[in-house]
Amino acid sequence: MCQSDKSVSINGSSTMNWNYNDLFDSDNQKTDNYEDITGVITDWLKGNFSELPWFDSLVITGFRSGSLIVNYTVQVLGRINLTQLENIATGFKETQLVTKGLVTISVPQEQPVAIGSSPTITCKSQEDLGSVKWVLTDTQNKKTAITNGAEAKLSNDTFTDTVHLNRISGSWKGLFTCEYTKAPITHIATEMLDIALLPDIRASSTPQFPDCTDTTKRIQIRFQCTIKVSTENYTVSWNSSDFKDLRSTSSETKGDSIHYNAEATVICKDILINELANVTCVFTNNRAKVNGSMNKKEVALKIPIIYSHSIVCDADNLWPKTKSSYTAVLVCDSGVGENRRNCTDGQWGTAISYCVNLGLYDIHKDVEEIGKGLGFIRENADRLISSLKTITTTDTTVNSFANINISVDILKQMNQVSINQSHKWNEAFMPNFVSTISNVLNDTQAWNQTQNANSLSADYLQTVEKMIKNSNLSSVNHTSVNVHLVTCNPNNCTSFNVSVNTEQNVVVVAFKNLADILPKTLKNETCDSGTTILSVTAVNGTTSDPLKMTFFGILRRRNHEMYCVYWDENENEWSSEGCTWGGAFNPMFCNCTHNSAFTILMSKHPVNLPYMEELTYACLGVSIVSLVLCILIEFLVWDTVVKSNIANFRHIALVNISVWLLLAYCAFLGTAEPKKTNSSWCLILTVVKHYCFLAVFFWTLCLSFLLLHQLIFIFEQLRKKVYLAFSITLGYVCPLVCVAVTFIHFDNGAVGKYYSNEACWLTYESGLNGSIFAFIFPVGTIVIINMFTLCVVIMKIVTPAVSEAKARDEKAVVKGIIKTIVFLSPILGITWIFGFLVFWLDLTQKPYAQIVNYAFTILNSLQGFFILLTNCFGEKRVREALSKRFRGKPSVHSKSNYSTKMTSVIKKK
């Protein structure tokens, strides 16, 4: 019988005023009234639907309980008036109608289509039926909504809707359905799209590296290509230009996999030019053609052959003997993927697992399917994130680079799909999300298994930030082991060990452990960071409002610059732009003008003062030469200038100061390169410097006491034996006692306790801790006493005797003060007062610290030079003695001065 091409079938379900029990008893058997009631219902339905033109038949297909729900099918042999059908449907009680025939669907005529092709599926209607819903029912009878994605794009025109598929995968094989709903009627059309699938192929060879060190050998190699069991009928072929006897041997099915095998023989005496053999297995699907050629997929195997001259890594447990510059591969015992281990220059590298947890692999596939355009993220998000959280929580083997990598990629793809589908994450999504991103940070070592750790950690941070930006959050506070997510109102809030002060509502995500994974470089400088990384996102989009943060729990080392930084996504590195550090007095404070991911980094190296070393060694060189000259001069003029006890005492102190300072400088130069200095020598030189510098200051103290005695006890002469005994005790014994007590107290001169190998000098830990204070306290005390002596001398100059009160010239007084300071400061070590400022000031306090450091270095490195100028060449008697020694007789100028001086003395008498 001929049937109109415009015929329509209608599947309906309506609720009737009967009860289900009127038709069926408790055993679900038909009652006596079944036929009568069925006839009444059929007649009533026909009476309504027969109003449609071209009405042909109505058949009841079943009943469902409720009150009484009737399922039925209506056949109409011509075009339906939709308005009339809607009027009929609205006259029924709780009715749903599904029409088939009002909408036509078209698919490619030549099927199956090939993998990678771009077919189009189109649905057309007779009139405007509203928006369309596309559904794919796959070969497993799973129904999935179709939306815009990587492989699908939806478009519409007048009465026409189209799915444009692009370079399709096998996921699109199934029944396509377009649905138009104008309640209570749904109009559908369905058509099958068949795809000639191609498999995922895993290839291997046994052995992986044929050993031809013995050129007389012939080695049998077995090749295997493995695919999942499939209903497709593939033709498998093997090709090789290196193996003439390559032959296919067998195929076998194990579990859900099919293994195709081939064999070939390596004749070791036939050395290959590149020592690398190639074999290819090709899977051809004969059901479809691509550009006139068969639809096929191939995988190439490269077999490195070991010869006698080859560098190799010896077999190590399961790892086979491997040729250098190649990678050995072992199939995973569980999961998907493989283990790899590089052989480089005959040395094994670290084995790296690329085995992916099966659960994570399945979640990743589900997300990829949604990304292709199969499904809506809003309908799957809770299921996916819950599964991801469960696996990363319960399975400890997830803490590997491969599993962390796929977990981050799952989140990344989920968020991208969410953005593409204009979906935002809600607060219900966040608890599982926080647990998941925390779980992958449990083992920081796993992130560093490959050189891609920096890239992965940056992806992780950017993915989390983008997901937060793509969220609708008003008030959340979720804490896991390594991650804390909280919304902060315009005030202080604390997340882990960071205090945040903001002027607007922001979402803060604090990360523990992430600082150990992300790069620690800023402008090519390597830094330290062991603190929390803080990601701050405005609740309502981006903003430039200032953000104040205080990081706790990080110990800043003295003189080390701190950097307040944010993660620059464009440069994929830390940047300090827009962020200000609180300085040495508030070292944990950061103020930034924008929102991002923040942390605080500390430079690995202290602030560098340009040319400081060169300046130090140059000045020391000058001082050493000056001190040698000073000692020689003292030797030459001793008999001439030392005519009294006071002169004797002063020159004894001067010689000792010069000798000990010379030895201290030489020991200092001996530790110019601490890294190249033997640890034992480093200890010896530290002890020498410690003793010599202390001896210098104790001898300056002797000189200081001598000056005080002369100024205070004018009429009481200091006996020579008393002063010598006092000087020897103070100048030799006291430094020795200080050094010995310090040495014993700090674990008998232990490295890191008494001295540091990094500087060959005493240690400083923090506060008042460290052996350096066994130098600072005595030196500080002596410098204060010497300053007191200097002040007494100045007071004597400022305060004249009664007989000279009217004759004093103010200019002469000022000149005398300046001369006193210039002459006494070097010999008394007063310039070391800058050392206390150096110790107190941090080098990050610019420019004051830099000025003080340069002043300290110049003045104290040239102390020997200043002693030569002031206490040798600056003393008239020394100059006269030198002149007399080298000329043989006093100069006229000297005689004149001497005569003038004698005349003055006589007048006074």
Phi first, then psi: give them for residue 511, nearest 5 degrees: -115, 125
184 preceded by cis ω (within 30°)? yes
C-alpha 582/C-alpha 545 separation (Å) is 18
Residue 236 has pLDDT above 70, yes or no: yes
Is the confidence at residue 909, as pLDDT, over 50? no
For the record, the structure tokens of 412 come out as 């990344």
Mean pLDDT computed over 91-115: 91
Please state, rounded to an integer, the average pLDDT across all residues of the chain.
Answer: 86
Whether the per-residue pLDDT at 577 is higher than 70: the answer is yes
pLDDT at 20: 87
If you average pLDDT over residues 713-737, what whole number do you get? Answer: 81
In this prediction, residues 412-427 reach a mean pLDDT of 94
pLDDT for position 808: 56
Average pLDDT of the segment spanning 865-882? 82
Phi, psi angles (nearest 5°) of residue 848: -60, -45
Give the tens place of pLDDT for each residue, 622-631: 999 999 998 9
Please give the average per-residue pLDDT across 377-393, as a whole number: 94
- Can you list the pairs that 439-443 forms with residues at least 24 positions away whose Cβ atoms lie under 8 Å? 439/389, 439/392, 439/393, 439/398, 439/480, 439/482, 440/392, 440/398, 440/399, 440/404, 440/407, 440/408, 441/482, 441/483, 441/511, 441/512, 441/513, 441/514, 441/517, 442/399, 442/481, 442/482, 442/513, 443/399
The string of pLDDT tens digits covering residues 792-802 is 888 887 776 54
The encoded tokens of residue 62 equal 């079943």
Cα angle 12, 16, 17 (rounded to 5 degrees) comes to: 175
pLDDT tens profile 800-845? 654 454 555 667 667 777 777 777 888 888 888 888 888 778 777 8
Kindly report which listed range (159-173, 326-340, 488-502, 655-669) carries the lowest average pLDDT score. 488-502
Counting Cα atoms < 13 Å in the Cβ hemisphere of 584 gives: 17
Burial class of 105 by CB neighbour count within 10 A (0 to 12, 13 to 18, 19+)? middle
Quote the strand ranges of 183-337, DSSP E.
185-193, 195-196, 202-206, 211-212, 218-228, 234-239, 247-254, 257-267, 276-290, 293-304, 306-307, 312-313, 322-323, 326-331
Higher pLDDT, 769 or 2: 769
Q: pLDDT of 694-705, one tens digit each?
A: 999 999 898 888
Question: DSSP of 824-839, one letter per residue?
Answer: HHHHHTGGGHHHHHHH
Q: What pLDDT, on a 0 to 100 scale, did the predictor assign at position 14?
A: 92
Mean local confidence (pLDDT), 780-791: 89
Q: Note the pLDDT tens digit of each residue in 356-383.
A: 999 999 999 999 999 999 999 999 999 9
Q: What is the pTM assigned to this prediction?
A: 0.77
| Longest CA pairwise span in the chain (Å) | 161
Residue 362 neighbours by CB under 8 Å, 6+ apart: none
**Strand pairing partners for 279?**
301
CB 163 within 8 A of CB 187: no
Mean pLDDT of 788-795: 85
pLDDT higher for 516 or 293?
A: 516
Lowest-confidence segment of 352-356, 401-405, 597-601 by average pLDDT = 597-601
Task: List the single range of 211-215, 475-479, 633-637 with lowest mean pLDDT.
Answer: 633-637
Strands 589-592 and 547-551: antiparallel
Q: Phi and psi at residue 624, in whole multiples of 5°?
A: -60, -45
**How would residue 853 be classed by pLDDT, with cut points 50, 70 and 90?**
confident
pLDDT at 482 over 60: yes
Check whether 429 has a pLDDT greater than 80: yes
